[in-house]
């Protein structure tokens, strides 16, 4: 039975329920469908990770900095979104957004983040 591919419109033969002429066309069609949907879960997470990275980079020009937690949060930083973590020899866990990391700490009774940049000694 001949049908037209949903994506490329080429005529192909195959099962009655087959919609695409190839795996490439199937994948491309799904990609274009989801590209249109601006509020997918992936895009929300990706957007927040990029926002977090941008803020950490802007406040950590020297590779090591301390900033009030409320300052970062007010600018849209969300500490629940990170790409990986690193535990130092003291047992402190730094959370990272790509190459920029942060550690929640209290200094002089104020909530702060210690900001660092990924170094060769922090991991493989």
- Residues 115 and 90 occupy one common structural domain: yes
pLDDT at 31: 86
- Residues 6 and 53 occupy one common structural domain: no
pLDDT at 10: 94
Q: Rg for the chain (alpha carbons), in Å?
A: 23
- Residues 45 and 103 occupy one common structural domain: yes
pLDDT at 63: 87
- Residues 55 and 23 occupy one common structural domain: no
- Give the total number of structural domains in the chain: 2
- Residues 47 and 85 occupy one common structural domain: yes
Which residue positions in the chain have pLDDT lower than 50? none
Domain of 6, in residue numbers: 2-36
pLDDT at 39: 73
- Residues 50 and 14 occupy one common structural domain: no
pLDDT at 115: 97
- Residues 58 and 118 occupy one common structural domain: yes
- Residues 94 and 63 occupy one common structural domain: yes
- Residues 74 and 22 occupy one common structural domain: no
- Residues 26 and 59 occupy one common structural domain: no
Query: Each residue of 52-83: b (16+ CB within 10 Å) or e?
Result: bbebbeebbeeeeeebebeebeeeebeeebbe
């Amino acid at each position: 039975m001949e049908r037209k591919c949903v994506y490329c419109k080429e005529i192909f033969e195959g099962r009655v329920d087959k919609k695409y002429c190839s795996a490439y066309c199937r994948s491309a069609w799904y990609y274009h469908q989801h590209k249109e949907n601006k509020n997918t879960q992936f895009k929300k997470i990706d957007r927040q990770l990029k926002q977090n990275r941008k803020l950490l980079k802007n406040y950590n020009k020297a590779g090591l900095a301390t900033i009030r937690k409320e300052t970062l949060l007010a600018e849209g930083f969300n500490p629940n979104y990170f790409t990986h973590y690193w535990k130092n020899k003291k047992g402190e866990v730094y959370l990272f957004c790509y190459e920029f990391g942060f550690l929640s700490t209290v200094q002089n009774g104020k909530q702060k983040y210690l900001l660092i940049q990924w170094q060769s000694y922090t991991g493989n």
